[in-house]
Structure 1
Amino acid sequence: MKIAIVTPYDSANCGAYLQAYANKCFLEKNNHNVCFVQWRNRKQRKKEYFSKPNTIKELIRYVQRYPFLCTRYKCMTKALEEFNVQKNISNIDCIIVGSDEIWNIKVSQFQNPIFYGGVDQKCCIAYAPSAGQAEPKDYEDFPWVRKCLETMTYAGVRDENTKNIVENLAAKQVKIVCDPTMLLPINEFNFPHERKIKDKYMIVYSYSVPKEHQVYLKRYARKNNLKLVSICLYQPWCDLNINCHPLEFSSYIQFSECVYTTTFHGTIFTLLNHKNCAIYSPSKKLKDLLKWTHKEEAMLSLVATYDEFESLVSKQHSYELFETIIAKKRKESQEIYREALKSCGV
């Protein structure tokens, strides 16, 4: 069957790309023809990388990051060749909306009805969308969202907060499923497995690292003779800032000594690669992920001391229980997804 996915496949970050790629891989392994719905033009996509600075401070930061952003834009543009992107979807049998934070109504680009099934299709399924940090009251100015959610076929949402929002707005019981990047074992994705950095290194993957943690990271790296390597996101205080193809993202984590991350997908690939780690984030979705995977032990507090940070990132984590939980959740999510597709005649 012909399936079109509505998701920010062309985002500037690796996580959004990888969830789109993983969803595509799962559907193709189930013998479906997959494409992605073009939801914005090239100019709009480019603006995400090169947004106009509004203050002197922002201008200085922009100039500092500009060469990195240019390389990032070229790298991610090249990566889009993996996807079949279509503007005309009149011949599509089914639309899949998800994954990622496409239901976070607080983000202006996700105030577009297309992310809520607002397309003229007989079948529309939600798989693992997230509302991020949004709350039910945030949807009050968007009454059309309720109507879209009421008519949606659900294969599940990604986290507890999104589940509560859907049940509040649409009065529908929905299940929590795993992110597409967990739908298949990591060795079933076509990721390269090649070490690119000769020296021992620690990965930093974060949009913003608290000053306290920056101090800890630099101190720990010096003490253990590690390079601090930021991948795909610019951190001027790191030893190396590397742009890579998103399909290489996992291998950079795989060959690292340990990982510091504050992101959802950074955490997923850290756990899937069984790394020593320190994970910091106040976000609901990340706390929810660590809770159901029983990896709350990897969480780092903002007010942690250096000794606590060092103890956490040096700890040899056991991943036996994690793999058992993931295998069960993966199987359940696959079954729910296939059943939703079947109910739509796909």
Structure 2
Amino acid sequence: MKVGILSMQRIKNYGSFLQAYGLKSILDELGADVQFVDYHPGKTLIPADGGTGVKRKVLKAIEAFQGSAPLSEKLRFINYKKNYAAKYYPYLGITEKMNYTPNVDLLVIGSDEVFNCVQNNTNVGFSPELFGQNSHAKRIISYAASFGNTNYQKLEQYGVADKVAEWLKDFDAISVRDNNSVQTVEKLTGKVPQTNLDPVLMYNFLGNNKVPTDIDEKHKYMMLYGYSGRFTVAECKKIRAYANSKGLKIYCIGGVQNCCDKYIDCDPFKVIAYFQHAECVVTDTFHGTIMSIITHRQFVSVVRQAGYGNSEKLVDLLNRLQLKNRQLPSLDLLDAKLAETINYTNTDEIIKNERVKTREYLKGWLAE
């Protein structure tokens, strides 16, 4: 069966790559002939953050150069972004040529925030294709899709609730990954969607031989994983104080932060190895949290309410995996929280059962 995955595979960050690779690998294992499908970004419903096109890229580069991290590490980050597509797209089987609306037997929309249509990211915007429109697929389902910070109230506020409801009702099946998305789909369609966990949890990355078993680092380190500049100067001072008290270097992946000792530019599979060998992890991202969990790290997830925020997805994820106590509302509590023992027994059992559930859901549609 020819299967298309319509996801965030071209977004240049490790989480987007790993969720795309994980879902493709699961479908490959189930015997599907898989290809990635592209979408046309729509106009943003709210003012674009930092402009569009070249202007947006320039502003993002300037943002990376701000702060007091060593210049050499800032340049490593810029180099990572510059070479990302050429290095890592081939793992997904995608090229610079876009693959719009191919003829496939099944289109799987997701994972990631594919339904997050009320946002200011010009790489996404309000795109009907992310809701299955203009597709040449015989059947359309979603897998672990998320509305992110978009909810029913925002859809109504921006006058698109009826459109989105109409589009979702055309799906053959809907699977989402978080409670906000469940509530939004139910409000729009009158039906409760299935819930599934993110592919980075559902695919066994630790059993993939592309993930190295060792890394060549002579220093003990803590991992700081977040978008560039997301950790404030005050937060970085507290992270530095903790690292110094434990004799740890601060390694940054994904983005460069003020307190960065070294920025790691490596392939997405080696990122998992860096997590495995970290003494501890501080993150404020969804996939940084997931990578901490699958590698059984001592970690904290910094929950943010202000600005774009992350509370909906992080709180939901940690609750589902019975790791609610890993939430960190303030860096003032960093020492105490990282000193707590983490019991992964129940979490591992949940992941094991959810992996079966994921394969049953996808296999059912491959058998149609």
**8 Å CA contact retained: 1:12, 1:48:** no
> What secondary structure is seen at the aligned counterpart in 2 of 1:218?
helix
Whether 1:222 aligns to 2:234 is: no
**8 Å CA contact retained: 1:153, 1:340:** no
> 1:59 and 1:244 mapped to 2: Cα distance?
18
> 2:10 and 2:167 mapped to 1: Cα distance?
24
23-32 or 170-179: which moved more? Answer: 170-179
| Cα displacement (A) at 1:300 | 0.9
Give the TM-score normalised by structure 2.
0.84
| Cα displacement (A) at 1:317 | 1.3
> 2:317 and 2:188 mapped to 1: Cα distance?
23
Whether 1:80 aligns to 2:89 is: yes
Whether 1:162 aligns to 2:174 is: no
Match of residue 123 from structure 1: 139
> 1:156 and 1:258 mapped to 2: Cα distance?
33
* Residue type at the aligned position of 2:154: D
Whether 1:7 aligns to 2:7 is: yes
> 2:271 and 2:54 mapped to 1: Cα distance?
20
Whether 1:53 aligns to 2:59 is: yes
Cα offsets for 1:37-72 (capped at 9, x unmatched): 13369xxxx958962339xx859639x746622332
| Cα displacement (A) at 1:91 | 3.4
> 2:257 and 2:267 mapped to 1: Cα distance?
18
Match of residue 113 from structure 2: 101
> 2:100 and 2:297 mapped to 1: Cα distance?
43
Cα offsets for 1:150-178 (capped at 9, x unmatched): 11122510100001111111112212111
> 1:232 and 1:128 mapped to 2: Cα distance?
23
Match of residue 297 from structure 1: 325
**8 Å CA contact retained: 1:183, 1:330:** yes
> How is 1:143-292 mapped onto 2 (pairs within 5 angstroms)?
143-189=162-208, 190-207=210-227, 208-282=230-304, 283-292=311-320
* Residue type at the aligned position of 1:106: V
| Cα displacement (A) at 1:234 | 1.4
> What secondary structure is seen at the aligned counterpart in 1 of 2:250?
strand
**8 Å CA contact retained: 2:175, 2:195:** yes
| Cα displacement (A) at 1:206 | 1.2
Identify unmatched segments of 5+ residues in structure 2. Answer: 42-51, 305-310
> 1:324 and 1:168 mapped to 2: Cα distance?
31
**8 Å CA contact retained: 1:102, 1:110:** no
Percent identity at matched positions? 27
Match of residue 25 from structure 2: 25
Whether 1:135 aligns to 2:146 is: no
Give the TM-score normalised by structure 1.
0.89
CA, structure 1 residues 120+139, in 2 after alignment: closer, same or farther (shift >3 Å)?
A: farther
> What secondary structure is seen at the aligned counterpart in 2 of 1:228?
strand
Whether 1:37 aligns to 2:20 is: no
* Residue type at the aligned position of 1:312: K
CA, structure 1 residues 215+150, in 2 after alignment: closer, same or farther (shift >3 Å)?
A: same
**8 Å CA contact retained: 1:203, 1:256:** yes
Say how many residue pairs are matched.
334
**8 Å CA contact retained: 1:232, 1:244:** no
| Cα displacement (A) at 1:203 | 0.1
> 2:234 and 2:272 mapped to 1: Cα distance?
27
> 1:48 and 1:96 mapped to 2: Cα distance?
31
CA, structure 1 residues 178+59, in 2 after alignment: closer, same or farther (shift >3 Å)?
A: closer
**8 Å CA contact retained: 1:253, 1:273:** yes
CA, structure 1 residues 110+170, in 2 after alignment: closer, same or farther (shift >3 Å)?
A: farther
> What secondary structure is seen at the aligned counterpart in 2 of 1:5?
strand
Identify unmatched segments of 5+ residues in structure 1. Answer: none
| Cα displacement (A) at 1:122 | 1.9
> 2:5 and 2:298 mapped to 1: Cα distance?
34
